[in-house]
Chains A and B, each alone.
Chain A
Amino acid sequence: MWIDGLLRRLIPLIAATLLCLPVLAATEAWTELTPIQQEALSPLSKGWDGLPIKQQQHFLGLVKHYPKLTPVQKERLHKRLEAWSKLTPEQRRRAREKYLAFSKVPLEKREQVKQMVREQEAGKAAASSVPSVTPAH
């Protein structure tokens, strides 16, 4: 009969532990991150402690790729990370879908599209750098 008593106590305990497991995974403070994590996620340092655990885990998942990146890629990552962090999960999901669809396009076509986008971006940058002139009346 001792096993009955043991099971009676164990079942609720197991259930409670299972239910609490996701909750127990607490957020990680910026100061607790490793130097490589801090370097990779440096653009997010200010708002890191306020990020929800899910988002923190999402960004920590990116860090494992960081050491393999070239200096140019690292720079791009740092420039884009903040904007990426402000997107909604739905926007990120759609962006992934688009990226994956685009990566299936033949290389030649892809290069053409990339060239077009670069030209558009350059045009936008040039337009924003020209100071707006108010016409004199």
Chain B
Amino acid sequence: MNENLNTESIRQLLNRSSCRLQQPALARLRDLRTQALARYDEHVNAPVFAWTGAASTSLGHTVSPHRGHYYYYCAAAVLLAALLFTGTTYWQHVTEHDNSEVDIAILTDDLPIDAYVD
């Protein structure tokens, strides 16, 4: 047996073997592949906590958690942006109200507002 098998030689061997398969067997393999790919998509899209390290396996393929990661990074970024935006707006609102005491003092002072305005 040739011990110097590499990826390319394995691929060639598999291709050669598949040529010898009967048509029904090929069709069955094609169906199984389609089903496996469908399951792969479900696995990657469904579990939100895939990124926690529980990389699931399906038909010998390790499901990449990258898409789960991507979703979480996006969600975290959007949440952070939303929090920052809301926080800033709220802070501005609070600051405006904090100024009301000084504003009312200026508006009712015995000096006209021109004295304070440039």
Interface residues of A (CB under 8 A from B): 1, 4-5, 7-8, 11-12, 14-16, 18-19, 21-22, 54, 57-58, 61-62, 64-65, 69, 73-74, 76-77, 80-81, 83-84, 87, 91-92, 94-96, 98-100, 102, 114, 117, 121
Find chain B residues with CB under 8 A from A96 CB.
99, 102-103, 106, 116
Listed in ascending order, the chain B residues whose CB lies under 8 Å from chain A are: 46-49, 75, 78-79, 81-83, 85-86, 89-90, 92-93, 96-97, 99-113, 115-118
Do A4 and B49 form a contact, CB below 8 Å, given A19-B82, A117-B115? yes
The answer to whether A76 touches B47 (Cβ under 8 A) is no
Residue in contact with A94 in the complex, picked from B85, B86, B111, B118, CB distance below 8 Å: B118
A114 adjacent to B117 (CB under 8 Å): no
Q: Give the docked Cα–Cα distance between A18 and B79 (Å).
A: 8
Q: Which residue of B lies closest to A65 (CB)?
A: B104
Q: What residues of chain A lie closer than 8 Å to B105, measured between beta carbons?
A: 99
Main secondary structure of the interface of B (DSSP, over half): helix
A63 to B46 alpha-carbon distance, docked (Å): 53
Please list 26 pairs of residues, one from A and one from B, whose beta carbons are closer than 8 Å in the complex, sorted by A's number.
A4-B46, A8-B48, A11-B79, A15-B79, A16-B82, A19-B81, A19-B85, A19-B86, A21-B86, A54-B96, A57-B96, A61-B97, A73-B108, A74-B108, A77-B104, A80-B112, A80-B113, A81-B107, A84-B106, A91-B117, A91-B118, A96-B102, A99-B109, A99-B116, A102-B116, A114-B111
Main secondary structure, interface of A, reads: helix
CB distance from B97 to the nearest CB of A (A): 4
Smallest CB separation, A93 vs chain B (Å): 8
Contact B48 A58 (CB under 8 A): no
Residues of chain A within 8 A (CB-CB) of B111 are: 114, 117
- Within the complex, the shortest CB–CB distance from B86 to chain A, in Å, comes to 5
Contact indicator A65/B101 (Cβ below 8 Å): yes
Chain A contacts of B99 at CB under 8 A?
Answer: 58, 61, 92, 96
